[in-house]
Structure formats: structure tokens, C-alpha cells
């Protein structure tokens, strides 16, 4: 049999439950009264359907006892980073950046480990997060240099000069 290590606080699950009920009531009201406060959401805001669940997961990482929420923080950070990349790319049309922007995903995981390690007081966690984020940042810069060239403006002009084909 498992023994409890003491009384657990019910504040975290209660707050989460109230938050979910509030979101449900808001969704019901929006649907009932046909409120369209974001008419262009489909054109420019669709990445928020990825960003918001990532932020929710990062917030949910604060509910369990420390450091058990670290996995939620890492998953939430990676999902949020994917959404942020999709938002950037959908607004700029720079979809080619996926060739090297994938390296920002381990950087997001490293950043989550750093922040959660500081929150939980786990030195090993934030040290590992710093290493992961640092290596990912180096990969990102190297990939950007390799795929975009030393100067992104130069590669854009050379592409225009050759009629959209690579030289």
C-alpha cells in the first residue's frame, strides 16, 4: 500500500478547475450570442491555436509538487516555440527558415529547464538547460549562416537577380 507523505494542498487543482469552468462559460457565451471579436483570426491568428495550449501546459507545470512539473514545462515551451515560429513564418512568408529554425525547439526546452530549475531550486536542472539552450543557439546561428548566407539581404538580392532561382 502506498502511504501519503502528508496532507496535500487542493489549491492548485481548484484553481485549474475554476479556470476551465470560466473558459467553458466564456466559450458558451461567445457561441450563444454569436460574438465575433476576432474576425480575421483565421487569416493571421491561426498559430495561436498552437501557442495557447503550450502556454497552458507551461502554466500547468506549476501545479504539481516541485520538480515533477518539469516535463510539462518542457513540453509547453516546445509547443509554444512551434506556435511562435509558425506565427513568424505566416506573417513574414519566410517558410524556408524551417531548414534551421528547428534548432530553436531544443533551445526552448533548455530555456524551460533553466526557468523551472530556478523556480524549483534545482541547480542541476538549470545547468543542463543552459547547456541545451547554448548548443541549440549555436546550431541556429550556424544553420542561419549556412542557409541564408552571411547577410540575409545579400541572399535576397541574389535570388531576385536570378529570377527566383538559386545562383
10-30 burial by CB neighbour count: b if 16+ within 10 A, else e?
Answer: eeeeeeeeeeeeeeeeeeeee
Assess whether the previous peptide bond of 67 is cis (omega < 30° from 0): yes
**Structural domain range at position 84:** 43-161
Q: For residue 128, is it within any domain?
A: yes
Q: For residue 24, is it within any domain?
A: no
With beta carbons less than 8 A apart as the criterion, state whether 116 and 127 touch: no
Q: For residue 49, is it within any domain?
A: yes
* CA 143/CA 149 separation, integer angstroms: 9
Q: For residue 115, is it within any domain?
A: yes
Instruction: Give the pLDDT means over successive 10-residue stretches in the chain (167 positions).
Output: 58 76 83 73 80 92 84 95 94 91 96 91 92 96 90 52 50
Q: What is the predicted pLDDT for the residue at 55? A: 94
Q: For residue 147, is it within any domain?
A: yes
Number of domains in the chain: 1
Q: Euclidean distance between the first and final Cα of the chain, in Å? A: 70
Amino acid at each position: 500500500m502506498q502511504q501519503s507523505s502528508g496532507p496535500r494542498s487542493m489549491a492548485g487543482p481548484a484553481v485549474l478547475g475554476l479556470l476551465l469552468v470560466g473558459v467553458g462559460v466564456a466559450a458558451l457565451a461567445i457561441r450563444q450570442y454569436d460574438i465575433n471579436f476576432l474576425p480575421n483570426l483565421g487569416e493571421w491568428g491561426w498559430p495561436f491555436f498552437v501557442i495557447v495550449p503550450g502556454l497552458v501546459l507551461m502554466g500547468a507545470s506549476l501545479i504539481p509538487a516541485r520538480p515533477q512539473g518539469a516535463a510539462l514545462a518542457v513540453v509547453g515551451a516546445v509547443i509554444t516555440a512551434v506556435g511562435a515560429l509558425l506565427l513568424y513564418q505566416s506573417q513574414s512568408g519566410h517558410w524556408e527558415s524551417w531548414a534551421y529554425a528547428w534548432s530553436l525547439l531544443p533551445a526552448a526546452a533548455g530555456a524551460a529547464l533553466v526557468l523551472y530549475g530556478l523556480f524549483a531550486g534545482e541547480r542541476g536542472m538549470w545547468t543542463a538547460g543552459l547547456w541545451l539552450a547554448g548548443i541549440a543557439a549555436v546550431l541556429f546561428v550556424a544553420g542561419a549562416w549556412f542557409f541564408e548566407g552571411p547577410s540575409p539581404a545579400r541572399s535576397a538580392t541574389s535570388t531576385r537577380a536570378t529570377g527566383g532561382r538559386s545562383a
